[in-house]
Every structure is written in C-alpha cells, then in structure tokens.
A and B are shown apart, each in its own frame.
Chain A
Amino acid sequence: MTLLSVTALAGGYGPVKVLHGLDFEVAHGEIVVILGANGAGKTTTLRALSGMIPSDGEIVFDGEDVTGRKPQVLARRGVAHVPQGRGTIDELTVEENLRVGAWTRRDSDVAADVDRWFEVFPHLADRRTQQAGSMSGGEQQMLAIARGLMSRPRLLLLDEPSLGLAPIITQELFAQLGDLNRELDTAMLIVEQNAGLALRLASRGYVLETGRIVAQGAATELEGNEDVRRAYLGL
C-alpha cells in the first residue's frame, strides 16, 4: 500500500528550477532513503513535500492530492518534517518544543507522549526546562526528531539527521529510528550523507543528481551497485 506517491515533482526557488521531475513513492510503514551529493536537491525535495516551497507535479498522500497545500495542511494530514540543521525552536524550553510538536493534536494523550519521548531520549529529560537553543547540536537534533514524532505522524521526513553528530551518537540515533519504525509503523523518508548507515536502515533508496533521480532500488541493491558505491558511499 502506498502512503506517499510523487509524480513529476518539479520546483525550486523563484526562477531557479532545482527539481526536474521526480517520481518516487513510500509505502505505509516503509523507510526510504534519498542519497545524493551536496546541492543535488534533497532538501528542496523535502521542502516541496511539506509545502514549504511551491511545486509542480503531483503529490498524493494517503489517497489525497496534496499538491501545493500549505505546511499547516500537510502537518494536519500526518506529515512531520524535521528540517536540516537547527530545527528546534530556540526560545522555547525543551518541553515546550515537544508540546508545540503536538500542535495539530486535540487528544488528551499529549502529556503522556511527552513523558514517553523523555524516556526514549533521557538526555532531553534532564534538560526539560532548559531553552532549546542552549543545547548541543546533537541534543537539538534529538529534540527536533522527538518533536516531529509528537504529532504522531504517518510519514516522518528527516533531513540529514546525522549532520553534526558524533559517529557513535549517529549510530544510536539510527538504531532508535529503526525501533520507532517497528514499534509505531511510522513511515520515514530520510535524506542522508551517511549513505552506508542509511542504507542499512532503509528498505529502498533513490539517488538524486542535480534534481533528477539517477538510480533507485532496494537498499541492498544500491549498496552493491558499483557506481553508487563509488559516487556516494566513498568506497
């Protein structure tokens, strides 16, 4: 069952076209990775998906055409986008960042979910009332991800979650993402530079080059593909 289906996605910044017709999909509960060199258009792809920039083509999420809808609408439909770099809301406390992550929810389990992510990320629990902006890069990345999960998304878009993290923290983080995926059945579309790690987590992958998909397939296939290994895995 497809959760997200994208056809001929094009978009960019004003007159600058960055994406030149992408076709890809993500199934319910699936983890998919997008690889590509710096400037390939990975971030732009995620921004188009979450409605942060205008786009052409067709984006169908859970059977509904959401092309050109605002970020607010996508968030309400169940898409959580953890942007590249500092996605935290610096002037809110750690706990407030989590609560604001549940902005679209009206149920009464929000407090329970906050506690739950504090259990999963004990580093954050220790800093509950600290301003998010005063935390280390790694802690902020954890917080941004936990905040994304607070909306109980059906699709989590992660833009370079390992950026600026120590290798050991990255491994921990990816292990946790795998657990979360198994436990909550949250689908994930992950953009990563750390291709090796990402391909081990994902079931499928796409390789992006200057706004076009140049390779795709099962993660194991991509890992074995000579061209991909040379260009993106640095092997």
Chain B
Amino acid sequence: MQLFLSQLMNGLGNGVIYASLALAIVLIYRTTGLLNFAQGEMALFSTYVTWKLVDDSEMGLPVAAAIGISMVIAFVGGALIERVVIRPVERSSPLVIVIVTIGMFLAINSIAQAIFGTDTKQLPSVFSDAAWVVGGVRVTAQTVGLVGVLAAECLLLWLLLQKTRVGLGLRAVASNPDSSRLVGIGTGNMLMLGWAISAALGALAGAMIVPMTPGLSAGSMQAVLIYAFAAAALGGFDSPLGAVVGGIIVGVAQALAIQYVDPLNDIELVVPFALIGGVLLFRPTGLFGRRVVERV
C-alpha cells in the first residue's frame, strides 16, 4: 500500500509537469486549431535561457527571477514565431502546417545546441529539497511546489479566459474566426497572443521539468512532449481542464506501470503511445474535449 502511495506521489509530480506542457499545447490548439509539435523545443530553448540567466557569472540571477524573465522573453518569442513563421502558412493545408511545426522543432533544437553547446547543464530547482513523511509516504517540497504552481497557472488562465475582455476575444476567435472578425476582433492579434501565452507557459514548464531530470540537454523535452501530447489527447485537445486531468492520469499511469508491470521497465514510452492510440480509437474528443481533432 505504501509503495503504491509513494508511486502515486511520484506519478503526481510527473503528471503535473506533463499537465503544464499539455496546457501550452491546448492553448495553441484552442486558439489556432493546430497542434504545435515544436512546443517542447520552444520550452527547451526558454529553459536554456533560464539556465543562462542563473549560471552566467555576471547575471547569476535567482532561479525564480530567471524563470520570470525567460517567460517574458518566451512570450515575445512566441508572438514573433506566430507572426513570422506561422502566419504566412496559416491558410495552407493542415499537412503543410504540421510540417512547418516539425521543421521548427528541428530548427529550434539545432539553434539551441549551437548557442548553448551540447554539454549537459544543471538547472537548480526553485523548490527546496525538503521532504516530509505523511502517513508513511514521503512528500517532497518539490511535488507540493509543482502542484501549487500548476494550480496557480490554471487559476490565472481561467481568470484570463473567463473574466477579461481579451479572454472573451481569445475564446471567440477559437470558436468562430469569421464571426469574430465581423464583430471587429483583430483575429491576428488574438492568434499571436495565444502563441505568446503558450510559449511563456512552456518556459515555465521547462524550468519545472529539467531539475527533475539528469540535466538539461538537447533531448530533454522530447519524451516529455510525448507524455504531454498523451495528456492533451486524453483530456481533449481543446480543454484546459482536460490537459490538467490528462497530465495527472498519464503521470500516475506511467509511475504505476513502471512499478507493477515489469516488462515495461525500459520501454515506458509505450504508456503514452498506448494512451494516445486508445483515446483516438475510442473517444476522439478526449475526456473533456468537444472538438474532434481532424487537423493532425
């Protein structure tokens, strides 16, 4: 039982991470109707920026401040990517756009390696390494912190989308771009904003993920991206709530599968793929989604 509970905690920690990247994917899908395969690499790049801000002998910023700054940089970068890379192909076929985001995946990855080098970097966690034992289960400050960050992120996103004028515009454009243009919403600006917010969330997710891994390197985000896609598929690509629930389910499923299903020990990536396949087969809208993903 205790083993089960501690695996559950592990799973929760990972799940929250998948959820935060899945949220970024969902946000772009909701506003623009496309799946951004470069989401993980955008987060990777931002995380390198965070690392640089912390590690650089002259700047040497505290981790939290570095994350804040790199989120701002990512926000601007995301907006630029929408303007410069995505907008020219916006009206092309879905296949073209998928190929463009895959191209971005490769390009951003190489650029990151060219700028920051290929050696593995260490990014300290924002959270302390304290841990408590609650009812025989070890609960780390790391896990509690991650859950807190995700909860805050969700609350802010919810307030933005549901309670502000800009949020109303974002949701309108996501649902019906033509009618939105007719009421006078600058749909281009809304799409740009969707990419900007999503890139900033990715920067945050990256800085949360890397301290839980052996280090920051060019491949850091690739497995995580697959889990995040599984989370988004499970929750529904157009549902922020689904991303969170999906992320946690995927994280927990992964932890339990590794613990209890021996043969999966080294090939744990089977778990997200099985989930994606299962969802697309049995419930294409995901648990909380409304729209069937057709543009993949």
Contact = CB atoms under 8 A, between A and B. Distances in A.
Given A89-B175, A90-B175, A92-B175, A71 B181 contact: yes
A30 to B, nearest CB: 21
A81 B181 CA distance: 10
A13 interface: no
A103 B170 CA distance: 12
B171 to A, nearest CB: 6
A91 B291 CA distance: 11
Contacts of B172: 89, 92, 96, 100
Contacts of B171: 91-92, 96
A13 B61 CA distance: 55
Contacts of B174: 91
Given A99-B168, A100-B168, A151 B175 contact: no
B175 A91 contact: yes
Interface in B153-183: 168-169, 171-172, 174-176, 178-183
A123 interface: no
Interface string A85-110: 00111111000100111011000000
Contacts of B183: 75, 80, 100-101, 103-104, 147, 151
B278 interface: no
Given A91-B171, A92-B171, A72 B184 contact: yes
Contacts of A96: 168, 171-172
Nearest to B30: A91
B185 interface: yes
Interface in B121-156: none
A161 interface: no
Contacts of A104: 183-184
Contacts of A91: 171, 174-176, 290
B182 A75 contact: yes
B186 interface: yes
Interface in A100-149: 100-101, 103-104, 144, 147
Most chain B Cβ neighbours within 10 Å, of A70, A89, A99, A101: A89
A115 to B, nearest CB: 18
Interface residues of B, number: 17
Given A52-B178, A88-B176, A90-B176, A75 B184 contact: yes
B175 A76 contact: no
Interface in A44-100: 50, 52, 70-72, 75-76, 80-81, 83, 87-92, 96, 99-100
A103 B175 contact: no
A103 B176 contact: no
Contacts of B184: 71-72, 75-76, 103-104, 151
A81 B172 CA distance: 16
Given A89-B176, A91-B175, A50 B182 contact: yes
A92 B183 CA distance: 14
Contact of B178 (A80, A83, A100, A101): A83
Interface of A: 50, 52, 70-72, 75-76, 80-81, 83, 87-92, 96, 99-101, 103-104, 144, 147, 151
15 contacts: A52-B178, A70-B181, A71-B184, A72-B184, A75-B183, A80-B183, A88-B176, A89-B172, A89-B179, A92-B168, A96-B172, A100-B169, A100-B172, A100-B180, A144-B179
* Nearest 8 Cβ contacts at the A-B interface: A75-B184, A91-B175, A104-B184, A71-B181, A89-B176, A81-B182, A103-B183, A103-B184
